[in-house]
A and B are shown apart, each in its own frame.
Chain A
Amino acid sequence: MQLRGSNQWHFLGSQILVCVCCTAAAFADPASPFSPTNIFAPASTPAKSIFGLSLFVLAVTGAIFLVVFTLLLYSVVKFRKRKNDDGREPPQVYGSNQVELAWTVIPVLIVVALFMATARVIASVQKTARPDNAIEVVAIGHQFWWEYRYPGLGVVTANELHVPVSDDNQSSPTFIKLFSADTDHSFWIPRLAGKTDLIPNHPNSMWIDPHEAGIYLGQCAQYCGTQHAKMLLRVYVQPRADFDRWIQEQRQPATVSAASQGQRIFETTACINCHTVAGTVANGRFGPDLTHLMSRDTIAAGAAKNTPENLRQWILNPDTIKPGSLMPAMQLSGQDLEALTTYLETLR
């Protein structure tokens, strides 16, 4: 059986078409990204520099692909063995120094160009110094949630990072120090910056300066154990005034009303070994800070919406929401659970 060259052509041709379309689709307009985590819809300087480099690299590699692919296609079609072949061997060619030199030198030049472009972007992203007006955040990766501390501002929160918009009117980038409390994690909000790992004993840092308000999504990008998949990231980029208000609220300790039934349960169960509620006796640090739990949209690192329903289910048995999470099921009676949830709901 002889495979016809044109068959081959059709097949390969359609392949390219598919690839090109997909790439084009991925290049969606940044204003309405094709996906909330599209790396080609950058909204912050580091992500934009990377995007610029990506375009250059894609163009160069795309051109190489077209040239080499055309050569391949041409030789497969042109030099296929014909039906009416005379059965003689084709001329035996052993090599040619000139051509081989050419296809050594040209790639060398291309590599040099790619390298220079890359080196520039590395320097521009990694060597940016922290300006004085920058917000400083410490992000600590835990199995399987994020802790955020704002050392200058006295705020501790979890899973949902708030940062101010940084635009031409008011530039206020956010510099993030990255630590890990246990295993390796990686901080990745594709639209804001490339990822950087959080590694125990190996402090890292990165920065973002989101240009537009909104919620930016991402998730842990280094395998860190059972629930690596549900270690989601949410970054709330707010206008400066809103951000300042948020900081003000977060600095308050929990509102001390008359100690409720729920609070008593909270403080007499194991909860306080792992959780902090500022202004009360609860000062555990193993789990997320709950002082302003209700100011968050999600619980358990984005695994569920923060609704009373989900809270109840979470406390009763975290494994039903996030199997393998490090919070144990608390074995509470229905009544206690109800009171406890009511208490948590007061933590605004």
Chain B
Amino acid sequence: MSTESIAWPSTAAGSRSFVETLHEWVTTVDHKRLGILYIIYALVFLVIGGIEATVIRIQLIRPHNDFVSPQVFNRLFTMHGTTMIFFVVMPVLFGFANYLIPLMIGARDMAFPRLNAFSFWMTAFGGLFLYFSVVGANGLYGAGNAPDVGWFAYAPLTSQTFSLGHSTDFWTLALLVSGFGSIGTAINIVATVLCMRCPGMTLAKMPLFAWLNLVMAGLVILAVSPLTAAQIMLLVDRYLGGHFFDTQAGGSAVIWMHFFWIFGHPEVYVLVLPAFAFASEIIPVFSRKPIFGYPVMVGATVAIGFISMSVWAHHMFTVGMGAAANTFFVISTMAIAVPTGIKIFNWLATMWGGKIEFKTPMLFCIAFLFQFLIAGLTGVMLGAAPFDWQLGNSYFVVAHFHYVIVGGIMFTLFGAFYYWFPKMSGKMYSETLGKLHFWLFVIGFHLTFDFMHIPGILGMPRRIYTYEPGRGWDTWNLIVTIGVFFQAAGILVFLGNLIWSYFRGELADNDPWDAWTLEWSAHSPPPAYNFALIPTVKSRRPLWDLKHPDDPDWKYE
């Protein structure tokens, strides 16, 4: 039989100075440490982006409020959107992918450890660079500072004529640099999943987590590159006097929209696929059943990947594309509902007939199912082009995408945090605090984002720093703002739980959830080399086979 794993190489010795430890972390190429770096980095930005959101909401709490000036408000939502998408959700997902994929496929590290470190630091540098626009230039107030063009930075607002100073350059360069990081990580993930699997783990026997991240990485490669190209063009315009998006020299504003959304739409599936990956690992374990319809889940994922490349212009129904183009993008957009529906139904079928345990990770996943269902359906409403002529660019859209991103992605993400916390830290989290976090966040989420749909239906556009009284928007905005404080409280409890449990939590078993994938066979936390012996697998649930030698999975698959 195999050897017992050995603890993390003598970090516990405690004799290391802070500088040595820091040096170790900064120069690390270990996938687990890089994963944790990604995650911590993202958490810091989550608090920053969340504070920005809070200020936005305070400004909108009543009509004609003047908590912040219009200029600052415009910078706030730009920074909030950019931060949350590029420096919170992307890195945190890469962090989990980095940490878990090698463990789940029985490998000792990613395919290219140094590329991995390089990519992390590129991403990190991008985020710091973006925020340098706040402290480095003249700050949030004054000229030449934080970008204020919105997270999709439509031309010609980004041209020299309308955006003086360097704020837009900060935005462009930050995304360009972190984009290189993302592409690097994506290449690494693809190479790892395809080339590092342990013996016996054919593509059809990989955990769904690996599959979903593989498709996610493929999408990053195909989607972030167009953004890179568009950013290069924007830089050519701004620094070399080019005319790509210069409408005064015959350039087109619309082509920027196309380029951005060719990136932007697949991007949202880049964000959501890892969330699906978390759900696909957590739901089976807490229902005590294997994932229902594995091959179909894989097929649906690949289908989502492909279809999502052809729907970008549903963000442009109001730019006047002509009836034929609009019609095409309606059908491609709605087509995505089919594979996504398959996933929802398969998760439900996984729970069906199981024995569901309401541990914190599972609670978050159940809420995810409920919320993602609603969010997807509002997406379909937006996908019906004429309906979008009314709803587009209103608070209904803002509600739709926060419903997916917060209600879908953030919820599974919190689930993932609780689920893998014992593995990453070797300690158990506090279940009580976890449940408290869950309920605070659910209440806050629904107060904020349920009621946000209504001002949208009542004609409230997004990105307005204030609004007129007498439009029937006041009460809804008040409720929406109140919800944010519940969310903030929830997140504070969450952060508190992480920190408290890390120092004071009970020691965790290697396999606290009685789970089935390979990472649970490693020590908690895993040693630098993960597995003393590279495992061999015969089925999708290697640990099930081990625990039930009389009734192993490979007989059925």
Contact = CB atoms under 8 A, between A and B. Distances in A.
Interface of A: 1-3, 8, 11-12, 15, 18-19, 22, 25-26, 34-40, 47, 49-50, 53-54, 57-58, 61, 64-65, 68-69, 71-72, 75-76, 79-82, 85, 89-96, 99-100, 103-104, 107-108, 110-111, 114-115, 117-119, 121-123, 125-127, 178, 182-184, 186, 188, 190, 193-197, 199-202, 204-205, 217-230, 232, 302, 323-324
B292 A94 contact: yes
Contacts of B374: 65
Contact of B252 (A121, A178, A190, A202): A202
Contacts of B551: 92
B162 A121 contact: no
For the complex of A and B, 3 pairs with smallest distance between CB atoms? A194-B389, A37-B459, A35-B472
A79 B458 contact: no
Interface of B: 69-71, 74, 148, 150, 154, 156-157, 161-162, 247-248, 250-254, 287-290, 292-296, 318-320, 322-323, 326-327, 330-331, 334-335, 337-338, 341-342, 344-346, 348-349, 351-358, 363, 366, 369-370, 373-374, 377-378, 380-381, 384-394, 431-432, 435, 442, 446, 450-451, 453-454, 457-468, 470-473, 548, 551, 553, 556-557
Given A89-B355, A182-B161, A219-B464, 18 more contacts: A1-B435, A2-B358, A22-B454, A53-B387, A68-B373, A69-B370, A96-B349, A111-B331, A115-B334, A118-B387, A123-B327, A183-B157, A199-B254, A199-B319, A222-B154, A222-B318, A223-B462, A229-B467
Contact of B450 (A15, A94, A108, A217): A15
A201 B389 contact: no
Contacts of A182: 156, 161-162
14 contacts: A35-B458, A38-B458, A54-B384, A65-B373, A81-B358, A90-B289, A90-B354, A111-B331, A115-B331, A122-B326, A127-B323, A194-B389, A195-B392, A223-B150
Given A22-B454, A202-B253, A184 B356 contact: no
Nearest to B551: A92
A194 B330 contact: no
A257 B365 CA distance: 75
Contact of A57 (B381, B432, B450): B381
Contacts of B348: 68, 71-72, 75
Contacts of B431: 1
B293 A100 contact: yes
A224 B331 CA distance: 30
Most chain A CB within a 10 A radius of its CB, from B156, B342, B356, B381: B356
A123 B386 contact: no
Nearest to A25: B454
B154 A114 contact: no
A122 B386 contact: yes
B355 A85 contact: yes
Contact of B458 (A34, A93, A103, A220): A34
Contacts of B341: 103, 107
* B interface majority secondary structure: helix
A254 to B, nearest CB: 31
Nearest to A303: B468
Given A79-B354, A218-B459, A126 B326 contact: yes
Contact of B393 (A38, A71, A186): A186
Given A104-B338, A118-B330, A38 B472 contact: yes
A226 B450 CA distance: 28
Nearest to A204: B320
Contacts of A85: 355
A89 B515 CA distance: 12
Contacts of B454: 22, 25-26
Contact of A37 (B252, B290, B471): B471
B253 A199 contact: yes
A222 B553 CA distance: 55
B322 to A, nearest CB: 7
B344 to A, nearest CB: 7
B157 A15 contact: no
A79 B355 contact: yes
B70 A323 contact: yes
A72 B346 CA distance: 11
Nearest to B460: A37
